[in-house]
Amino acid sequence: MPEVLLVEDDTALRSTVARALRDAGLVVTTAGDGTQALAAAGRGPDTRFAAVVLDIGLPDSDGRDVCQALRARGIDVPVLFLTARDQLHDLLSGYAAGGDEYLTKPFHVRELVVRLQALLRRAAPRAPRDASTLHLDPAGHALDGPTGRLPLTPTEFRLLAVLMAAPGDVVRRRDLVRAGWPDGAVVSENTLDQYVARLRRKLGQAGDHGRSLSTVVGVGYRFQ
C-alpha cells in the first residue's frame, strides 16, 4: 500500500485527514511542522513516501519552502498543498514551488482523498539521482553543507531550490524569475545575475567543491 506523508499543524484536522486516508487504504505518517516533515522524508533522493499532503501555513516555515527543499533533495513525489489562501498569486506560487495540486480550506475530505488518489495514479517513476551533501533548511532559510550552515535570503532560497531540483538541466532565466519573485514582478537581468553570483559564493563556502552553478549564455543557469 502506498505511504503518504501528511503535514498539518492543526491537530484535529490532521487526525481527520489521516483517518480518511487510512480508510482509503493508504499508509499515513504525520508531521506537525516543516522540520518534522523533512526529517521524515529523509535526505533524498529516495523516500518511502509515494506522495505528500502539505499545509502551507506551518508554524516553523512556509509549506512552499518545505516543498522546494524536498525537490532540492531530489524527492519528486506528488505534493498536494492545503491552504486557506485562495488568491491567484497564492495558487501560482504553490505551483512554482513544485506543487502538483492545490486544495483550499475548508474542503471536503472526500475530495482530498480523490485528488490524492488521482495524483498517485499519474505519478510516473523517475530516473534515479545521486545523493547530495548539500541540503536546504526551509525553517532556518539556510544551506547546510560539509563545512557548516550558510544563511540564505528568501529569494536566494527559492532560486537555489529550483536549481538544485534540476541538477544537470538548464533552468531558464524566466523560470528562475518566476520562482524567485512574486507573480508579475519586474526583475532586471542584472538583478538575477547578482543573485546567482551570491549563490555561487555561498556554494563555494558550503564545502561541496563538486557542485557549481554554470552560465548558459542567453538561456539560463545549470546546477551541477
Q: What is the pLDDT of residue 113?
A: 95
Question: Are residues 84 and 39 in contact, defined by beta-carbon separation less than 8 angstroms?
Answer: no
pTM of the model: 0.78
| CATH code 3.40.50.2300 for 3-122 | yes
Mean pLDDT of the chain: 91
Q: What is the pLDDT of residue 127?
A: 54
Beta bridge partners of 149: 144
Cβ neighbors of 102 (< 8 A, separation 6 or more) are 80, 81, 83, 91, 94, 95
β-pair type (142-145, 148-151): antiparallel
β-pair type (79-83, 51-55): parallel
Mean pLDDT of 186-197: 92
Scan for cell 537581468, then name that residue. Answer: 189
Domain borders along the chain are 3-122, 135-223
When pLDDT is cut at 50, 70 and 90, the band that residue 129 belongs to is low
Cβ neighbors of 162 (< 8 A, separation 6 or more) are 68, 71, 171, 175, 176, 179, 180
User: What CATH class does 135-223 carry?
Assistant: mainly alpha
